[in-house]
A and B are shown apart, each in its own frame.
Chain A
Amino acid sequence: MAASTPPRAGTRPASAATLAQLAELNQRLAWKPAARLQVEGLSIGYSTLRGRFHAVEDISFEVPAGTNLGLVGESGCGKSTVIKALMGLQPANTSVSGRALLDGQDILGLDDRGLRDIRWNSISLITQSAMNSLDPVYTIGDQIAEAIRAHERVSRATAWARAEEMFALVGLPAGRLYEFPHMFSGGMRQRAVIAMALALNAGMLLADEPTTALDPIMQSQIMTRIRGIHAHMRRSMILVTHDIAVVAETCENTVVMYAGKMAESGPTADVLERPLHPYTMGLQNAFPRLPVPGAPRQPLISIPGVVPNLLLPPPGCRFASRCPFATDLCRTTAPPVVRHGAQVATCHHTDRSEEFRAAAARPETWRNMRGAA
């Protein structure tokens, strides 16, 4: 009777058999290697009453084993859609094309059975709203133990013992495994979801805005946990966020998305220090920073205009209507994917990026756009 288990202050000491099984389970899970993910030409289309459109179009990136990838962009640019497709969680009216190779196995076309095998086991998800991703009628401990026992042939006691270890890892008292989601605060619930995502030591962790709904202090504590655990266990991760500062701190590589397409990608240091795409430049200038003592304050610059309607995508570059450097070529012809060293940008004018970067730091550049937008 899971639902009627009363909350207990502590847990009973585990039996010798449980401990032995737990040690064996831990060892087996610790052996799992970090996963490598290659996404090639991923397109995701929805059919709606107003017609078909592509929420994500031709996205390619790679997450080498044991590294973090940041996926950034504004709301509605398709970040979460990519994550949903990778987990096989897309709604029924969706068409997905392209390939996503997780250690060589394409995970996009899997049937239910195949999906069940990989979820939590080799690819796990930390969802955006922890509020809605836990089942309100089961205790947290039951939910974590269930995920463990769905993949590993261990006793319930062993699964609970593993859940206790995961709770300790995210800084929650083991006694609270007996509680229901509504008894947790927002930050604790988010930590419980992280514990669940780590329970089977999946090689690939997808974190979809794990801290967006939380306070700054809770946000930094959760990100510190994720970073710490992650470095310790050497897993691979995709971190979806609109906060480029979090990406700067956490991820080796970054993909910037705009209106369903990839704007720019490459090593985080390069993308943030020498952006090639005007959208990345704009995003960076719009990001509020703390004042530096003695230094003059940098102006905060917004990007004028709005994201184009994806039902009627513009013929040329999707950013053209908001880009201060757009030319006629940009408005008529879709830009090519240009490679500069390790960095890749979808822009006609990557060769002028140095000039653009200087201009983009001046507020007038973007302000003069306003009449046109």
Chain B
Amino acid sequence: MTDRPTIAPDAPAVIEARDLKTHFQGHTGLINAMLGLKPPTARALDGVDLRIREREIVGLVGESGCGKSTLGMSLVRMYQPTGGQILYRGDEITKAVGRQLKDYRRQAQIIFQDPYSSLNPRLTIGQVIEEPLIIHGIGNAAERREKVIKAMELVRIPAADNIDRYPSDLSGGQRQRIAIARALVLEPKFIVADEPVSMLDVSIQASVLELLDELSRDLGLAVLYISHDIATVGYICNHVAVMYLGRIVEEGKAEDVLTRPLHPYTQRLMAAIPRMDPGEATERVELRGDVPSPLAVPPGCRFSSRCPYTTPLCEAVEPDLSDQPSGQRVRCHIHDDRAARAHPELTPPRPGLVTETADAGILVETLDHA
């Protein structure tokens, strides 16, 4: 699992999101409705472009509440996107219904975070894995059993000993393998793995990650690996995208993003990971406050309310993703002067310069404390 196969940049995408948006509509009370107030809208996913090719594992990282899981669930159509497009092998499936949706779901599967609650405790392992086959009307009982056994072999759980046991007889790592087998039994082309190892002990995390890596190579799967643990992303991903408040702020090859992060948010995310050298705690800049609510997305750059380099330009104009010479794509005015040239009256941020605007923000917070 040390070296990922290189993916040709022009290889056709298995799954592609174009300007994908998933907004959730809040509820208004009766009185507010009579007053004509609009219900609040949570912009959980707000314009995301992403391509995943065959045999490619794309890592998606960010804090809780940044929209990672919403993206994963929108891509497999568990949430209905409110804007943009999802293309599966070039076919638009954003608004697919009925037959077409069911066909798509055979191709796109999801693995959830918690293997203790994602497996029905009343079904045996065999029944759990067989269920998708029954739903999609595949094969007769004997053929289905054969497919179940094959799927269990893929995830290295001996079928003979385990097929009639219940999930409660298995350990967390084994359960997560069963959840992977259930996703694989339909022979999908695309898998969303939503924090598949964060509930597992460190000593067995590696084996599940290794398994995902092998499966994507051997079966040609496109995988979206969602995690808040940047360190694990480095081990299995070709490509990494960093999300903040519903948008991708930086993406690029895994090595580039992890070793030379450009966006201040990615830099902070990397600094948050404890190093293994005893006695040497790295000095870290504290970020102001919490992630803003997706109900009230700040104007301008979404990270401006917490960024140490914020200037008036950041607070007024949202940067676009810009291509960098190193091959990464970054959404930050520091690395993109297009907006600065369009708005010469606003001070642009400069790298490494902690600004007065940001300091003023910290000051407001400290005054709050007193």
Contacts and interface: CB of A to CB of B under 8 A. Distances in A.
Interface of A: 74-75, 167-168, 171-175, 185, 187-188, 215-221, 223-224, 227, 242-246, 248-250, 252, 268-269, 272-273, 282-284, 286-293, 296-304, 306
B272 interface: yes
Contact of B230 (A218, A290, A299): A290
Contacts of B203: 74, 282-283, 286, 302-303
A246 B273 CA distance: 9
Contact of B276 (A173, A175, A244, A250): A244
B370 A248 contact: no
B276 A272 contact: yes
B268 interface: yes
B177 to A, nearest CB: 12
Interface stretch (B32-40, B254-262, B336-344): B254-262
A302 B63 contact: no
A75 B201 contact: yes
A292 B286 contact: no
Nearest to A295: B259
Given A216-B272, A248-B277, A290 B234 contact: yes
Nearest to B231: A288
Interface stretch (B5-13, B125-133, B204-212): B204-212
Interface in B234-284: 234-235, 254-255, 258-260, 268-282, 284
Contacts, number: 149
A220 B284 contact: yes
18 contacts: A216-B230, A217-B268, A218-B63, A220-B271, A221-B272, A221-B284, A242-B201, A244-B202, A245-B273, A245-B274, A248-B274, A252-B279, A283-B203, A290-B258, A291-B254, A299-B1, A301-B206, A303-B204
B260 A216 contact: no
Nearest to A218: B63
A184 B179 CA distance: 34
Contacts of B282: 249
Contact of B210 (A185, A221, A300): A300
A216 B63 contact: yes
A299 B270 CA distance: 20
A216 B228 contact: yes
A297 B272 CA distance: 20
B234 A297 contact: yes
A174 B370 contact: yes
